[in-house]
Amino acid sequence: MSLLVVDNLSVFYGAIEALRGVSLHVEQGEVVTLIGANGAGKSTTLRTISGLLPPKTGTIRFDGQTIHNWQPHRIVKSGLVQAPEGRKIFANLTVDENLQLGAFLRTDRTAIRADRDRALELFPRVRERLNQQAGTLSGGEQQMLAIARALVARPKLLMLDEPSLGLAPQLVRTIFQVIREINLAGTTILLVEQNANMALQVAHRAYVIEVGRIRMEGPAAELAASDEVRKAYLGAH
């Protein structure tokens, strides 16, 4: 049984139809990436899955339950957590308090501490800044914090919205390395990316979204090799 099944999702912003029948699925243990140009509907897809936007039609099933009419906090509690686009850390709280908010819905203190330490192990630079105000972190550090914070929620499925946005190439590699490590440790990942090149390297399977529709899907290696993807998203000629 798939961990996440999105079926025929359409979403409107007022009169604008941002998603036009998107279907995708994520299996237990996979890294699945959703790539596409600006405004294709990637963030909209994640927001809808997280319950932040109501779908007009379509269904979302997660871990055996139908969740598309659930409140966002209930969805988080069920283990579906997203690290939103643009970092969205809590600037006036300390790094540590940000992490504690990641565990907001959890009560198992010892397990939270273990997950927190594990997340910090992935991002030593975040650990060094635990008592610092989060708003004073560099952009890259904020991105690491955003991922670490989502990890402290102990997601079954972690959704990352453009984690490489605005990072230096060296840091982009680090982030993708960490994404792989998180996945190897047992967390399923749905990764939204502009950086198709890196995303296709780390993912098992991929979807290409264009103006609200899924255009292509398949094993990441196959898509990376296809002419169409190479031309449109990998900058080949």
- 3-state SS of 62-88 is ECCEECCCCCHHHHHHCCEEEECCCCC
Give kind and range of the element (H or E) at residue 201.
helix 196-202
Query: Tokens in use for 27?
Result: 């299996």
Kindly state whether residue 114 participates in binding other proteins, applying the rule CB under 8 A.
yes
Q: Considering only the stretches 48-56, 79-87, 105-113, 225-233, report the one whose residues sit in contact with Mg ion under the rule CB under 5 A.
A: 79-87
Query: How far is Cα of residue 161 from the mean position of the Cα atoms in its chain?
Result: 4
> Is 42 a residue that touches ligand ATP (CB under 6 A)?
yes
The interface mask with ligand ATP, positions 21-40, x = CB under 6 A, is ---------------x-xxx
Of 106 and 215, nearer to other proteins (C-beta) is: 106
In whole angstroms, the minimum distance from the beta carbon of 87 to Mg ion comes to 13
Backbone Cα Rg of the chain: 17
Cα(4)–Cα(2) distance, integer angstroms: 5
Q: Which of residues 77-116 bind ligand ATP (CB under 6 A)?
A: 85
Binding residues for other proteins, how many (CB under 8 A)?
47
Selected range binding other proteins among 20-28, 136-144, 147-155, 195-203, rule: CB under 8 A:
147-155
Smallest separation (angstroms) from Mg ion to the CB of 214:
16
Residues 39, 66, 168, 181: which binds other proteins (CB under 8 A)? 181
Minimum CB distance to ligand ATP, residue 136 (Å): 26
CB of 21 to ligand ATP, least distance (A): 14
Task: Please tell me what DSSP assigns to residue 94.
Answer: B
Does 43 bind ligand ATP (CB under 6 A)? Our answer is yes
Give strand pairing partners of 22: 9
Query: In sequence order, what are the beta bridge partners of 157?
Result: 80, 188
User: b or e along 90-112 (b: 16 or more beta carbons within 10 Å of the residue's beta carbon)?
Assistant: eeeebbbebbbebbeeeeeeeeb
Q: Which of 33, 45, 50, 143 forms a contact with other proteins (CB under 8 A)?
A: 50
What span, in angstroms and rounded, lies between the C-alpha atoms of 187 and 181? 9
Distance, CA of 229 to CA of 55 (rounded, Å)? 28
Contact 221, 215 (CB under 8 A): no
Which is nearer to other proteins, 93 or 216 (by Cβ)? 93
Site for other proteins contains 166 (CB under 8 A): no
What minimum distance in Å lies between the beta carbon of 166 and ligand ATP? Answer: 12
156 touching other proteins, by CB under 8 A: no
Indicate whether 43 belongs to the interface with Mg ion (CB under 5 A). Answer: yes
Judged by the rule CB under 6 A, the positions of this chain that interact with ligand ATP are 13, 16, 18, 36, 38-44, 85, 194
